[in-house]
Structure 1
Amino acid sequence: MFSTKDKIIFCGNFGSGKTEISINYVLELAKRGVKAALVDLDIVNPFFRSRDEKCLLESKGVTVISSSILSKGADLPALSPHILGLIQEKNCKVVFDLGGDDIGSKILGRFKNDLEENYELFFVINVFRPFTNNKEGIIQSLYSIEKASGLKITGLVNNSNLGTESDIGHLIKGKELLNQIKEELNIEIKFHCLKEDLLDLVKGYDIKEPIFPLKRYMVPIWEK
């Protein structure tokens, strides 16, 4: 589940939950004593952004880099020069929260040559979202992201859920569909995501891949 590569990129369609996963992933790295950083490359979604949790992340020792425009509410496609510095830094795990779909993935092409082979590109899939609710839609989205970014997707992440209404059955349905993708494209399922309060329900199911428990950070403003 935790890659040996230094650069871990989470991509996915709008509503896939990649931002939530990025935050949980980098916080877990920091908790384990790993030098870690989060790069917010999402210039597509103005509502749920990892950079909005900058104070929390930095309090846990995580370096946070996003737009070079020093405004929390700005959604301008301006990249900080510190991003390249982090990519080139040794002994630092850098987690990238990439913008949704192929549009957001284009920005990754800027760093294609700098990443070389020292990266993982994880495609986060929620089978209960439009465009990724069937095998054909998932494969089309996957190829679109690869074409836009110029990088190959190295693993699948199952984050199938219905928000606060999620149960273990949603994870299982996602697993079954991702197994089809795995067989057809020969891309490994890296892990499954599940709300941390549902972990005890996993024991009765035959799930070979790791389960990554998620704590909820991306809360709509009306729920705060």
Structure 2
Amino acid sequence: MINDKRIRIITGHYGSGKTEFSVNYAVKLASMGKKVALADLDVVNLYFRSRERAETLKELGIKVIGSSINTPAVDVPAISPEVATPLQDESYEAILDVGGDPAGARALGRYVEYFKEGNYDMFFVLNANRPETQSAVKAIEYIRKIEDVSRTKVTGIINNTHLLKSTTVEDVLKGQELALEVSNKINIPIKYISTLESVAENLPNNLEGEIFPIKLFMREEWML
């Protein structure tokens, strides 16, 4: 993680687990004593967004930036102007949780002036169990569409293949095969293998990418 660029953009298809990864990534950075800002740029999906855990994250010392309209009963696609703060202020480790499709990634384009080659990472969260990204061809097409509309480039792949709390080692290894195929075809490295802590401890230690154990911050205990 310490070798990742200061600005990290997290994208991926809806249901890939990009928000869960974003939250866990922010928590991990904060636990290392870093000054962290997590900006929720998802203006497409109305469910399971990082801003929903704002209070929990604030208690951990993480600055959460969500909608510019602070009204719990109203949900509109309004991005706060505060997003520019961690992009400009180099004392922050910035994480941008971007909408889970090319239309959602369009919101990122307004900040393109802050993204210079070499000063940011954009991680594509890949879940081989999602129909839209279950083949290399589909996943690559999705990556290219996101790159085109956001005017940024994916720099790393995150294998986050899961079935929520039912995820097994076999699920993760299936996703790893797909991630490797995508990686080899477009020459983008696998950065992380993101999975539940109970699954991570049983994964082989020779996989490409860093094993990144996560907790389920975004799902209530009663949810499957």
- Return the TM-score normalized by structure 1: 0.95
Preserved CA contact (<8 Å) 1:159 1:174? yes
The Cα offsets for residues 43-68 of structure 1, whole Å up to 9 and x where unpaired, read as: 11111110000000000100011110
Preserved CA contact (<8 Å) 1:3 1:120? no
Q: Does 1:172 align with 2:173?
A: yes
The Cα offsets for residues 145-189 of structure 1, whole Å up to 9 and x where unpaired, read as: 001101011110000011121101111111111111111100010
Preserved CA contact (<8 Å) 2:12 2:124? yes
Distance 1:2 1:21, change over 3 A: farther
Aligned match of 2:112: 112
Matched ranges for 1:1-224 at <5 A: 1-117=1-117, 118-203=119-204, 206-219=206-219, 223=223
Preserved CA contact (<8 Å) 1:19 1:49? yes
Cα distance, 1:38 vs structure 2: 0.3
Preserved CA contact (<8 Å) 2:102 2:149? yes
After superposing the two structures, state which structure 1 stretch, 6-15 or 69-78, moved more: 69-78
Q: SS of the residue aligned with 1:201?
A: coil
Cα distance, 1:74 vs structure 2: 3.5
Cα distance, 1:25 vs structure 2: 0.2
Distance 1:3 1:110, change over 3 A: farther
- Dislocated runs of 4+, deviation >2 Å: 1-4, 72-75, 220-224
Distance 1:73 1:101, change over 3 A: farther
Preserved CA contact (<8 Å) 1:6 1:91? no
> How many percent identity over aligned positions?
38
Distance 1:73 1:124, change over 3 A: farther
Q: SS of the residue aligned with 1:25?
A: helix
Alignment coverage as a number of residue pairs: 223
Cα distance, 1:220 vs structure 2: 5.2
Code of the residue aligned with 1:99 in structure 2: it is G
Cα distance, 1:191 vs structure 2: 0.8
Gap runs ≥5 in structure 1: none
Preserved CA contact (<8 Å) 1:109 1:150? yes
Q: CA RMSD in A?
A: 1.6
Gap runs ≥5 in structure 2: none
Q: Distance in 1 between matches of 2:208 and 2:222?
A: 38
Q: SS of the residue aligned with 2:16?
A: coil
